[in-house]
Structure 1
Amino acid sequence: MSAQDQAAGLRKWADLQRQQRGDEAPPEAVDAPGPMAYQEPIVPGAAAMTPPVTPPAPKTPLMVVGLPADEPAQVRKVSARLGQWAALGRAWAKDPADWDIRIVMPDAPALAELSQTHRRWALWVSSDAEAFGRMYHVVKQLHQHNGPQRLLALHEPHLPRQGLLENLRQAADRYFGIELLLLAR
């Protein structure tokens, strides 16, 4: 039996198998002039060779109260402070880009629901002369509207722990049962 007869017999057998399964014959089997015909190798296109793109990791929500409005400048202020803590080696601060910073008003109608849904909350503490009164009022509103019971104190780096921050921490705990976390530098 010659090589050409053997190849033709194999092609017929393969075609018969495909027909029984319901497949069509591949184009190279139909168009090929003989067993020695050269076929171009199939090379995947550039799109098939690029590695798959992994979706970005979801950002961690950080709900922030104590800022006047939900503006990009306020979000940048919080992000910058987180970046300063990250630069000091605080692993929990992560990369500021990993946070989804949301400014929340302390009297928001959905505050109780938000406090149940989100675990990470922060209170922005300003350092001006009226800061204690404003922050006390914010903490009081959080208590009145069933807000979070634990907040991280976010503040400028120069603000000492003794004084405003410690007084605010004590008042939040004593009068409203809210824990205000102060971080040592």
Structure 2
Amino acid sequence: MSQDQAAGLRQWADAQRMKQEQGGEELAEESLAPMTPVPASQAAPESELSPEVSSGAPQPIAPLAITPPAPLKPLWVIGPAGRGTLTRAQVKQRLGQWSTLGRKWAGSPEAWEIHVIDPDAPELARLTAQHARWALWISSDADAFAQMYRALRLAREHGGPQRLLALHEPNVRRQGLLSNLRAAAASYLATDLLLLAR
């Protein structure tokens, strides 16, 4: 390398170094300069500011995805004819008793949508065609057999279901009332009364 070339390179390097030093000084001067307020007419409109700057309040967090509750299972319960005393609460209580006894199908009483209907209701045939889950409320009165058989007969005469769950108290014995009612329903009314296995 000739001396002219070396001298030229040194001059170029010195020039570059001076430019950098001058640029650094300019930046340092800008950072040390006092901030002057911007007139309101020159300020950026509020719509251009970020949401965090435009409002002092924290921004809402997107809600977590919540799975909707499972739909309720409809259960239509035929009560004693003409008595009108059966309530949804009684049916839910009975389902709760069965759930406590380990009947998995009963699940939570709150998972059921209970409908109580009279055995001679005019809409019984239409409802039977639309819904699959039916039960017969069986009380433990002394004259329960006569009342329950009458309710089943009226339900069949009004187009009621041919298959129902026997919804009875846990302490009602299978031998006696339940088995006699089941046999009579099958023989005389072509109705299948489902009894829970012990």
Q: TM-score scaled to structure 1, two decimals? A: 0.72
Do the aligned partners of residues 58 and 44 (structure 1) sit closer, same or farther apart at CA in structure 2, a change above 3 Å counting?
farther
Q: Separation in 2 of the partners of 1:78 and 1:156?
A: 10
More displaced stretch, 62-71 vs 112-121: 62-71
Establish whether residue 64 from structure 1 lines up as the match of residue 77 from structure 2.
yes
Q: Spell out structure 1 runs of 4+ moving beyond 6 A.
A: none
Residue aligned with 2:71, SS: coil
Structure 1 gaps of 5+ residues are 1-29, 33-37
Query: Quick check: 1:153–1:180 contact (8 Å CA) kept in 2?
Result: yes
Q: Separation in 2 of the partners of 1:122 and 1:155?
A: 10
Q: Choose which of 89, 95, 98 in structure 1 pairs with 2:111.
A: 98
Aligned to 1:45: 59
* Superposed CA RMSD: 2.3
Correspondence list, 1:11-160, <5 A:
31=44, 41=52, 45-46=59-60, 48-67=61-80, 68-69=83-84, 74-160=87-173
Q: Point out the structure with max Rg over C-alpha.
A: 2
Look up the equivalent residue of 1:90 and give its one-letter code. R
Query: Quick check: 1:65–1:122 contact (8 Å CA) kept in 2?
Result: yes
Q: Separation in 1 of the partners of 2:109 and 2:188?
A: 33
Q: Separation in 2 of the partners of 1:110 and 1:63?
A: 12
Look up the equivalent residue of 1:160 and give its one-letter code. R
Do the aligned partners of residues 116 and 70 (structure 1) sit closer, same or farther apart at CA in structure 2, a change above 3 Å counting?
farther
Look up the equivalent residue of 1:66 and give its one-letter code. G
Q: TM-score scaled to structure 2, two decimals? A: 0.67
Structure 2 gaps of 5+ residues are 1-42
Query: Quick check: 2:135–2:166 contact (8 Å CA) kept in 1?
Result: yes
Cα shift readout 1:1-33 (whole Å, capped 9, x = no counterpart): xxxxxxxxxxxxxxxxxxxxxxxxxxxxx938x
Residue aligned with 2:129, SS: helix
Do the aligned partners of residues 170 and 50 (structure 1) sit closer, same or farther apart at CA in structure 2, a change above 3 Å counting?
same
Query: Quick check: 2:125–2:158 contact (8 Å CA) kept in 1?
Result: yes
* 1:75 positional shift: 1.1
Tell me the matched-pair count.
Answer: 148
Residue aligned with 1:106, SS: coil
